[in-house]
Amino acid sequence: MTASTANAQRFREFKMPDVGEGLTEAEILKWYVKPGDTVTDGQVVCEVETAKAAVELPIPYDGVVHELNFGEGVTVDVGTVIISVDTDPGAGPATAPAAVEAPPEAAKAEEEAEPQGRQAVLVGYGAAPSSTKRRARKPQPGVPAQPEPVSAALQAELNGRTAPAPVAPVAPVANGTSAGAAGRPLAKPPVRKLAKDLGIDLATIVPSGPDGIITREDVHAAAAPAAAPAAPAQVPAPVAEAVAPAETGVVNAAARERRVPVKGVRKATAQAMVASAFTAPHVTEFITVDVTRTMKLVQELKQDPDMAGLRVNPLLLVARAFLVALKRHPEVNAAWDEARQEIVYKDYVNLGIAAATPRGLIVPNIKDAGIKTLPQLAAELGDLVATAREGKTSPAAMTGGTVTITNVGVFGVDTGTPILNPGESAILAFGAVKLQPWVHKGKVKARQVTTLALSFDHRLVDGELGSKLLADIAAVLERPKRLITWG
């Protein structure tokens, strides 16, 4: 057995898994271990955030953590090694495999070419092409060392548009090319994306990071407007001139703005909403309904022994009313298959509940909600909301939804025009319940009233069908005994 084979068996690599359906990347939120810690098979070592949820990752090995390949806050592609584990720590110190001497021509080609595939940079793991870490290159004869990091002020001047910075002559390497021509500028993927979004060419930026890596500050400095020419150093500027910009009202807007990378749940939500809004033709209808009887029933159910320990609220009965109405109009519960030009009618209802979480909006769903009893529906609704707020919703819980409810009333909002969750046929917005004057039994009285809004995919649902569905939901909430007669 060779030394490299023995090391490969001893040091096990754990790659970023696809924890959802076709996800391509995840951000490392928190490490629960550090190099030198002992871990066991199944132990949670980190928490990552995908485009759908925050997920804890267990390690499938016993041993001692050898290295964490990425820090917290770094987005890593699926399939990239994130941690290596020494499965035989008693075997002695880790030793790197002996390097194989390559022919001069091959070595020269390797130095000039962009790295391809995995590189054996440490025992037990290799850096993937999508890795955000880069190792320092070995110094070559005749090639000057990297310039010292420059300050932010100097960076702005170097990347300004008033005059190009003088370029120092670069000593040629053995093959006659300059050292800077060996590859593209060094920058992490988030920095490259930032430069692309701002329209900045990385090749024009002078790096200030270690090992010649371009940083976010470098990109922002290059994107900032060119500063006004500075006054001669030998002539001190009067105090009055220092406050002149404030007097003229000229303010640098960039100094009062913040830029936050779009990633995780926010990125997924944005993509989903854009895809839905510009794919499914939305129609939204509204209805205002007296829900006084429903609110009384909520209070009665809270005292019912069968509902003891369960969270009973108006949303529970709205969900039940939605399910009863769908049972009367099953054609609404469908999906549009564009690729096969088919309508898929579904004989089950996976009811989505839009939940606002610290990480953004997510829509987990209750599987087979249409066949559950009221206590079962209450229990699953409570678990769903609690899990979502803790950030522990699994990706599986957010797939396969058929229709959704969004409770905008908790924010004091009367109603809205909700956007369909991609792949679903309808979404119901439940507005705030308020005391309003209402004609009841021929007299104007103060009644508890709410407004419902139903958005539906007009490819699947005609106006008549959508109107009947919304009217039936309102009818159940107006007279909740229909939960029995219609259910």
Return the active site residues: 458
Q: Which residue has the tokens 């391509």?
A: 24
**DSSP 8-state symbol, 13:** E
- Rg, the chain, Cα only: 31
CA 288 to chain CA mean position, Å: 36
List Cβ neighbours of 204 (8 Å cut-off, separation of 6 or more): 159, 222
Contact 350, 401 (CB under 8 A): yes
Contacts of 296 (CB under 8 A, 6+ apart): none
Backbone φ and ψ for 192, nearest 5 degrees, come out as -60, -40
Phi, psi of 141 (to 5 degrees): -60, 130
Per-residue tokens: 470: 């919304």
Alpha carbon 410 to chain centroid distance?
A: 24
How far apart CA 364 and CA 206 sit, in angstroms, is: 46
User: Which residue type does 456 have?
Assistant: F
Alpha-carbon distance of 27 to 467, in angstroms, equals: 43
Two tokens, residue 472: 């039936």
Helix ranges (H only) for 127-242 are: 152-158, 189-198, 216-223, 239-242
Separation CA 195–CA 201 (nearest Å): 7
Is 393:362 a contact under the CB 8 Å cutoff?
yes
Dihedral (C-alpha) 311, 315, 317, 318: value to the nearest 10 degrees? -170
For 272-299, the three-class secondary structure string (H helix, E strand, C coil) is HHHHHHCCCCEEEEEEEEECHHHHHHHH
Tokens of 153: 């002020």
In 88-239 the beta strands, taken as DSSP E runs, fall at 119-122, 125-127, 186-187, 213-214
Strands (E), 34-105: 38-39, 44-49, 54-58, 63-68, 75-77, 81-86
123 with 11: CB under 8 angstroms? yes
